[in-house]
Amino acid sequence: MSMWWFITTLAITAFICNSPVYAYDNNPLQDICVAVNDSQAAVFVNGKICKDPKFATANDFFASGLNVSGIVVPAIGGAAKFVDVDNMPGLNTLGISTGRVDLDPQRIVPFHIHPRATELITVLEGIFYVGFLLPDPANFFKSRLISKILYPGDVFVNPIGLIHFQYNVGKKKAVYLAAFNSQKPELIIIPNSIFASNPPIMDDVLSQGFQLSKTQIAELRRKFS
Ligand SMILES: *[C@@H]1O[C@H](CO)[C@@H](O)[C@H](O)[C@H]1NC(C)=O
Ligand SMILES: *[C@@H]1O[C@H](CO)[C@@H](O)[C@H](O)[C@H]1NC(C)=O
């Protein structure tokens, strides 16, 4: 009987863990957990510590400014602005955040991943060529490109952890809104992460890893640093 109970519990747990509604961020254990902005904190929890709910205010759950473009990021040829737990403390533990990206014509958001979030993008202006790389389970040395041309009102999803990019293929500025199922999705820009690491990765490793000469590696380091 207890063995049967154990197997049933295991099966239910496996089902819940694989169900599509399972979020990567932890589920909240209370109604709200407004982050305390304590930059001097010596200890951290998984997320941010929360203030007493009776001191929460409407502004903890509010942000503005996505009506205009964000900070110019030369590496992406455009501007980006994110509303995450760092600037909207009410998002703490809720597993959601948003952002806005404006791209100049013929510029890209380079190959990147969000290790903690799936990203849903909605085009507001312009035309994008977007895509992500789906690993080929039959061959780790291959992938399949899932890509699309997007127009205003179109929605595209980049699954959690997969390498993706956005390219403004139009002749005018293009803008999308991004929604993430994490309070802090994180951003890893692949080329910079590899070629501009500190300390740098040994030349032999980069040279073998990309089948390039050390001269070519030195050039890539210069470009991405
Ligand atoms: C954007 O929104 C802010 C805050 O609501 C407002 O002060 C500003 O005038 C708006 N800017 C534009 C260009 O609409
Ligand atoms: C949190 O504190 C840091 C450092 O004191 C400050 O730069 C930042 O703007 C603060 N964030 C919020 C949401 O108040």
Range list of β-strands (E), the chain: 71-73, 78-83, 97-103, 108-113, 119-125, 128-136, 139-150, 155-158, 164-168, 174-180, 188-189
The whole-number pLDDT of residue 7 equals 55
Whether the CB-CB separation of 10 and 2 falls below 8 Å is answered with no
Among 138, 190, 139, 181, CA closest to 162 = 190
Distance 66 CA to ligand 1 centre (A): 9
The whole-number pLDDT of residue 15 equals 46
Per-residue pLDDT of 148-181, as tens digits, reads 999 999 999 999 999 999 999 999 999 999 999 9
First to last CA, the chain: 62
Pocket test for ligand 1, best of 59, 62, 67 (most atoms within 8 A of CB): 67
How far apart, in Å, are the Cα atoms of 128 and each of 75, 174, 207? 17, 7, 33
The whole-number pLDDT of residue 6 equals 54
The whole-number pLDDT of residue 4 equals 59
Taking CA atoms only, the protein residue closest to ligand 1 atom 7 is 65
Distance 59 CA to ligand 2 centre (A): 14
Domains plus CATH for the chain? 55-207 (2.60.120.10)
Kindly report the number of other CB atoms within 10 A of residue 35's CB atom: 20
- With a Cβ cut-off of 6 Å, ligand 2 is lined by 37, 39, 87, 89
User: pTM of the prediction?
Assistant: 0.85
